[in-house]
């Protein structure tokens, strides 16, 4: 070990996260369950194809009124 070696540094954020994980050991499992609930979904490729086919091409200037039913 070096004479000039300093103790390992841990930031306040890292200390907070480590303390949070030690106080609530189920935290990571709850996070994974929440992610699975909202994000980890099986995609239906048929629905995606229908969505792509039904999309309308966007005008170059989205706020333009040319071609709109109420335009003069």
Name the phi and psi angles at 11, rounded to 5: -70, 165
Number of domains in the chain: 1
Decide if 20 contacts 27 (C-beta within 8 A). Answer: yes
Q: Is 29 inside any structural domain?
A: yes
Q: Is 1 inside any structural domain?
A: no
Report d(CA 11, CA 25) in Å as an integer. 21
Residue 72 has pLDDT above 60, yes or no: no
Per-residue CA distances from 21 to 13, 26, 28, 34, 72 (Å): 12, 8, 8, 17, 63
Collapsing DSSP states into helix, strand and coil, what is residue 4?
coil
Band of residue 3 on the pLDDT scale cut at 50, 70, 90: confident
pLDDT in tens, 4-52: 777 788 999 999 999 999 999 999 999 999 999 888 888 899 999 999 9
Query: Domain span at residue 34?
Result: 12-54
Amino acid 13: pLDDT: 96
């Amino acid at each position: 070990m070096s004479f000039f070696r300093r103790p390992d540094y841990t930031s306040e954020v890292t200390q907070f996260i480590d303390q949070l994980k030690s106080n609530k050991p189920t935290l990571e499992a709850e996070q994974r369950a929440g992610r699975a609930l909202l994000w980890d979904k099986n995609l239906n490729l048929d629905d995606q194809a229908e969505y792509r086919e039904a999309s309308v091409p966007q005008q170059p200037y989205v706020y333009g009124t040319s071609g709109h039913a109420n335009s003069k």
